[in-house]
């Protein structure tokens, strides 16, 4: 047998575990952070969708009642129902009796921006991602992009029954 062949085989046999180790490190250091960032991005989009739906539902609910206080309370309750999972996660319980404090703010009826003869109500909802991120540490990571609370606003033009 050729004496130079034997050391090459022995060397290859000792190197077999290195490829597995390199693959494991690549997986941990490359793929897992990418998946975590993707998950966080998807959750931010889910928050934005939830807030959009909550503000629209609140604005829609404000159209069902006659008195202004009933309209504001109904709008706040509808928005709260639509974003309940987000409020539970953030540990917030908004008070709909005054509907004037974040995360749900319902304005009093006021003249519409483009049509002063009509009355409008504005429903604004928000979520502060920086203080309650879905994955620890991503609040600072996404801080350059999500520096302010994520917000959504909907406006309802009220039918006051006047011709």
CA-nearest of 57, 142, 53, 128 to 90 is 128
Task: Tell me which of 76 and 37 has the higher pLDDT.
Answer: 76
Task: Look at residue 2 and tell me whether its pLDDT is greater than 70.
Answer: no
What integer best gives the mean pLDDT of the chain? Answer: 84
Average pLDDT over residues 41-50: 92
Over the stretch 98-129, which tens digit does the pLDDT of each residue have? 778 889 999 999 999 888 888 899 999 999 88
Which residues are within 8 A (CB) of 79 and not within 5 positions of it... i.e. 6 or more apart? 54, 55, 57, 58, 61, 104, 106, 123, 125
Over the stretch 47-73, which tens digit does the pLDDT of each residue have? 999 999 999 999 999 998 778 889 999
**What does the alpha-carbon distance between residue 57 and residue 63 come to, in Å, rounded to a whole number?**
10
pTM as predicted: 0.78
């Amino acid at each position: 047998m050729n004496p130079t062949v034997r050391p090459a085989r022995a060397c290859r046999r000792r190197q077999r575990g290195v490829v597995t180790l390199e693959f494991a490190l690549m997986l941990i250091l490359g793929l897992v952070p990418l998946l975590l960032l993707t998950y966080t991005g998807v959750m931010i989009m889910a928050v934005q969708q939830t807030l959009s739906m909550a503000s629209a539902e609140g604005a829609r609910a404000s159209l069902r009642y006659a008195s202004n206080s009933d309209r504001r309370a109904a709008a706040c309750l509808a928005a709260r129902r639509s974003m309940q999972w987000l409020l539970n996660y953030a540990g917030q319980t908004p008070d709909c009796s005054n509907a004037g404090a974040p995360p749900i703010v319902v304005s009093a009826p006021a003249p519409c921006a483009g049509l002063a003869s009509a009355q409008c109500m504005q429903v604004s909802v928000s979520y502060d991602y920086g203080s309650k991120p879905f994955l620890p540490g991503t609040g600072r990571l996404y801080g350059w992009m999500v520096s302010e609370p994520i917000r959504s606003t909907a406006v309802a033009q009220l039918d006051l029954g006047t011709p």
